[in-house]
Amino acid sequence: MASAEHTKQGFMLSKKHKAGLLNFLSAQGILVFFLICMFAFSLTSEQFLSQSNIMTVVRQASIIGIIAVGVTVVIIGGNLDLSVGSMLSFSTVLVVDLHDKIGPVGAILVMFALTLMLGALNGLLVGFMRLNSLIVTLAMLSAIQGLVLIYSGGQNVDIANQSDTWFGVFGQGYLLGIAVPIIIFSLLAIIVQVVMSFTGYGRRIFAIGGNPVAAVYSGIRKNWCVFSTYMISAFCVACAALVLGARVMGSQNNVGQGYELLVLAGIILGGTSLLGGAGSIWKTVIGVLILGFIQNGLLLMGYPYYTQWLVTWVIIILAVWLDLANKRKRLLTRHS
């Protein structure tokens, strides 16, 4: 009797174990999908998996990636940030324009300060005044784009003497054989991931995203937490502007237009819920990289660049759908 019990338990255990593996695979569906994509592309094109190609893709994806790291924190906190695209235009134009006027160090400092002020304004309106984040950042998107145009007078800006400055190192330089944008991207991602996973601050952000009422009752200062997420987002945008400005050594005044939605696409693809309270930075990194590799893979296979948009459409909806179905354990909901 006892042994029967024992074997039953053992059987259950192994079954649980198996289910655990399946659960793990389905929970990490996006990672599996990523590997399948990489495999499929590497079959069709030899260059795809070459080190130089991978480095190129990661480098291209790093600007969206850097912004996505910050926006992920905002989204985990239960808000949205649509103003990052305009903010990127603002910061890039500012740093490039000021470079010739007050030198690279001054330009970078002023750019970071002003970008953080925009983030603080977002944070003030959403965190302290409790306004709807979607509309506030939508309004900021429009207002900041206007500010950029007023500042630049509708002109594009560039750095006059491009060979005489060390500014380009942020976009074009290499450190130990790795491109600087990739280093900035990785460093930011790792630092923010560690902060979100292992510090009390990170847990508080998850708490207010998951259940704001409970979080406030448990003594979390929600206002400050939300405020800080927008500051992180603005800081990441400033870093991205540094990379973008230094790579091009110039800037159009609408350079960041549409970035907010590409960033969101990457985040959603990674599996971070727009409802807040769940998600992680490394998922976002994978989401952004998938977008980058799909673009690159399709181009290497000879398709025009816009086919990636169609593929992105299908993948985003499938990814979120399967993720939901996995949580709900059935594919179609009953909305009647």
Partner 1 sequence: MIDIKRFMSGSAFIQPIWVFVVAITIFFSIMSDYFLSVGNLTNILVQTSTIGLIALGMTYVMINGNIDLSVGATLGLAASLSVGLQDYGITVAVLAAIATGVALGALNGLLVWKTGVNAFIVTLGAMIGVRGLIFVYTEEQSFYASNFAFSDFGASTIGPIPVLAIIFLLCTLAMHLVLKKTGHGRNTFAVGGNPEAAMDAGIRIGRNMMINFMIVGFFAALAGVLLATQMGASTPNLGRDYELWTITAVVLGGTKLTGGYGSIMGTLGGVLAIGVLRNGMNMMQVPAFYVLVILGVILIAVLIIDQQINLKSFKGVQA
Residue numbers of the site for partner 1 (CB under 8 A)? 125, 129-132, 134-136, 138-147, 149-150, 154, 212-213, 215-217, 222, 257-258, 261, 264-265, 268, 274-275, 304, 306-310, 312-314, 316-317, 320-321, 324-325, 328, 332-333, 335-336
What angle separates helix 281-300 from helix 51-76, to the nearest 10 degrees?
A: 140
145 or 193: whose CB is closer to partner 1? Answer: 145
The least CB distance from residue 5 to partner 1, in Å, is 41
The least CB distance from residue 60 to partner 1, in Å, is 17
Closest to 148 measured CA to CA, from 123, 114, 189? 114
Whether 116 contacts 94, CB under 8 Å? no
11 or 321: whose CB is closer to partner 1? Answer: 321
* Structural tokens at position 298: 């399709």
* Structural tokens at position 131: 């306004």
User: Which value, to the nearest 10 degrees, does the dihedral of the CA atoms of residues 134, 245, 243, 111 take?
Assistant: -60
The least CB distance from residue 142 to partner 1, in Å, is 4
193 or 228: whose CB is closer to partner 1? Answer: 228
The least CB distance from residue 41 to partner 1, in Å, is 19
139 or 195: whose CB is closer to partner 1? Answer: 139
Closest to 278 measured CA to CA, from 323, 237, 328? 323
**Cα–Cα distance, 274 to 86 (Å, whole number):** 21
The least CB distance from residue 68 to partner 1, in Å, is 14
What are phi and psi for residue 63, nearest 5 degrees? -65, -50
Amino acid found at 22: L
The least CB distance from residue 123 to partner 1, in Å, is 14
194 or 310: whose CB is closer to partner 1? Answer: 310
33 or 190: whose CB is closer to partner 1? Answer: 33
* Structural tokens at position 322: 């399967």
**Cα–Cα distance, 184 to 8 (Å, whole number):** 53
2 or 213: whose CB is closer to partner 1? Answer: 213
The least CB distance from residue 302 to partner 1, in Å, is 15
The total of other beta-carbon atoms located within 10 Å of residue 333's CB is: 10
**Cα–Cα distance, 97 to 290 (Å, whole number):** 33
